[in-house]
Structure 1
Amino acid sequence: MTEVLILGGTAEARTLARKLDDAGIATVSSLAGRVQNPRLPVGEVRIGGFGGADGLADWLRTRAVRAVVDATHPFAAQISTNAVRACADAAVPLLRLTRPAWEPGPGDRWVPVPDITAAAAAVAQRGGRVFLTTGRQDVGAFAGIDDAWFLIRVVDPPGGPLPPNHEILRSRGPYGLDDERALLAGARIDLLVTKNSGGEMTRAKLTAAAEAGIEVIMVQRPIEAAQTRQARSAPEAAEWVQTVLAHR
């Protein structure tokens, strides 16, 4: 029997898997498989999709899952939507574990936009030297912009169309403040494009941008299901899991 399914791929998901393992709770961590050589959590791991909400609900029943924690990336909207429906169909308690969003502070020059298409439109209006950190799946939205230069930071190389003027920087966080300051200055960046992912692993770029007076095109998070119970940290999620298991 699988006691807990963790929809993972984030640092919070890995921390939760370790805490539950330490408590003797059996978990399966599910990764989407979009990143080559991902960081793996402790415990059982599965990679790949479930076949939509119906497939996930069937999997939950087959494995007799007692609780689900959706600890996917804040922008993984489809799997989160599927999890809400699947857990309702299979009568399995669901918790959404997501890190708090970033908030602008003194010195920040943020331009909030609703989605990646709007971010590309904002870049097209401005041009300049752009630091693009939205992930490889979104790079294609900027492919038609020919009057800007892009430094595109990704873990794995993009597979689709690219802007005509660009450089690919492959790296994986966390990133330190001094390194981000040096990168922005060395590449003469005057515009940063990112998603409001939250967390500390990649926050330093925002601090460095604020210090340098660099404008930030900030893609806002998708709206999540209001009925889903929320947790903001792995310890909070672990406590919820233990409470659920004690009563099921």
Structure 2
Amino acid sequence: MRILVLGGTTDARALAGLLQGRAEVVSSLAGRVRNPLLPPGEVRVGGFGGVPGLVEYLRDKAIDVVVDATHPFAAGMTANAAAASAGTGVPLVVLRRPGWTEGPDDDWRRVPSLGAAAALLPAVGSRVFLTTGRQDLATFAGLHLWFLVRSVDPPDPPVPRRMHSVLDRGPFSVKGERALLQEHAIDVLVTKDSGGSATAAKLTAAREAGVPVIVVDRPPLPAGVSVVADPPACVAVLEEAYGLGA
């Protein structure tokens, strides 16, 4: 079996490891991070050229199954994968870890988009811990607030005028996140609903400090796709539905 894993996430790397020796796996990375953590096995880096390019790739490489294990906010890639699957008949499985759930002591404000988060921010706080990724900073560039921005690679303009940048890669600890909030006198946190444990410590630190959190909801998935919550569940589906061997 030849499996294309659309990756770049912790779950994608874990899935590639589980499939080693059981299938021919190609992991595809978008190439947006300069030094990405690579999964085991064959890796390709870069885009496909939209739906037509992905269709051509699936046919040329005789791919049997596509697993979309991209970030929950990589809506464009997921839409392209669904369209290419429909156009070729190659099955698509979407691997999406569950989103975060608000607890009784949390102070969350859910919004449908980054633009909505930017519009709400001035009414919530003035010293912002912005953890939505370096590619989304333009949305917040016009705000006259102070931003602590964390990303793997240095952000490119346009960026907020009052900004301190921290270069780091998860997983993060509650102790470390608590120290960041205190050191920079953060009074509001902005995050995407990415889910998972690698970056969830900031939510615990915010809860402890009484810092409100603006949570950007995930974009909807294409209709009719098969969704699994974690790598072992994905392997089980590949076994039961598509004949993955031992």
Class of the TM-score when normalised by the shorter of the 2 chains: over 0.9
In the other structure, the counterpart of 2:45 is 47
Change (3 A) 1:244 1:65: farther
Shift of 1:131: 0.3
Q: 1:97 to 1:171 in 2, by over 3 A?
A: same
**2:223 equivalent to 1:226:** yes
1:152-171 correspondence to structure 2 within 5 Å: 152-171=149-168
Q: Work out whether 1:10 is the aligned partner of 2:46.
A: no
Paired residues in the alignment total: 245
User: Which sections of structure 2, spanning at least 5 residues, go unmatched?
Assistant: none
| Aligned match of 2:64 | 66
1:6 and 1:17 in contact (8 A); partners too? yes
Q: How does 1:119-130 map to 2 (within 5 A)?
A: 119-130=117-128
User: 1:125, CA displacement in angstroms?
Assistant: 3.1
Instruction: Indicate whether 1:114 and 2:121 are aligned.
Output: no
Tell me whether 1:241 sits opposite 2:238 in the alignment.
yes
What is the alpha-carbon distance in structure 1 between the residues aligned to residue 112 and residue 22 of structure 2? Answer: 42
Contact 1:68 1:95 in 2 (8 A): yes
Distance 2:159 2:125 in 1: 16
User: SS state of the match for residue 55, structure 1?
Assistant: helix
Query: 2:26 pairs with 25, 28, 49, which one?
Result: 28
RMSD: 1.4
Q: Deviations over 1:73-104 (max 9, x none)?
A: 00000000000010111111110001100010
Instruction: Specify the SS of the correspondent of 1:69.
Output: strand
Shift of 1:124: 3.0
Q: Do 2:125 and 2:187's aligned partners in 1 also have CA atoms closer than 8 Å?
A: no
Measure how far apart 1:24 and its partner are: 2.5
Instruction: Look up the equivalent residue of 1:19 and give its one-letter code.
Output: L
TM-score by length of 1: 0.96
Matched letter for residue 165 of structure 1: R
Question: Secondary structure of 1:73's match?
Answer: coil
The 8 Å contact of residues 131 and 193 in structure 1, kept in 2 or not, is answered as yes
Residue 116 of structure 2 is aligned to residue 99 of structure 1: no
What's the secondary structure of 2:13's corresponding residue?
helix
Distance between the aligned counterparts of 2:8 and 2:244, measured in 1? 28
Residue identity in the other structure for 1:53: V
**Residue 240 of structure 1, CA deviation:** 1.5
- With normalisation by structure 2, the TM-score equals 0.96
Alpha-carbon distance in structure 1 between the residues aligned to 2:16 and 2:86: 23
User: What SS is found at the alignment partner of 2:109?
Assistant: strand
1:180 and 2:188 aligned: no
Q: Distance in 1 between matches of 2:239 and 2:64?
A: 11
C-alpha separation between the residues in 2 aligned to 1:59 and 1:41?
Answer: 20
CA 1:157/1:247 → structure 2, altered by over 3 Å: closer, same or farther? closer
Structure 1: any 5+ residue segments left out of the alignment? none
SS at match of 2:32: coil
SS state of the match for residue 95, structure 1? strand
Deviations along 1:44-87, whole A, 9 cap, x unmatched? 10011111111101110110000010000000000000000101
Identity %: 51
Residue 195 of structure 2 is aligned to residue 198 of structure 1: yes
Of 79, 82, 87 in structure 2, the residue corresponding to residue 81 of structure 1 is 79
State the alpha-carbon separation in 2 of the partners of residues 164 and 89 from structure 1: 45
Structure 2 counterparts to residues 202-217 of structure 1, below 5 A: 202-217=199-214
* Cα pair 1:67 1:244 within 8 Å, conserved: no
TM-fit CA distance, 1:239: 1.6
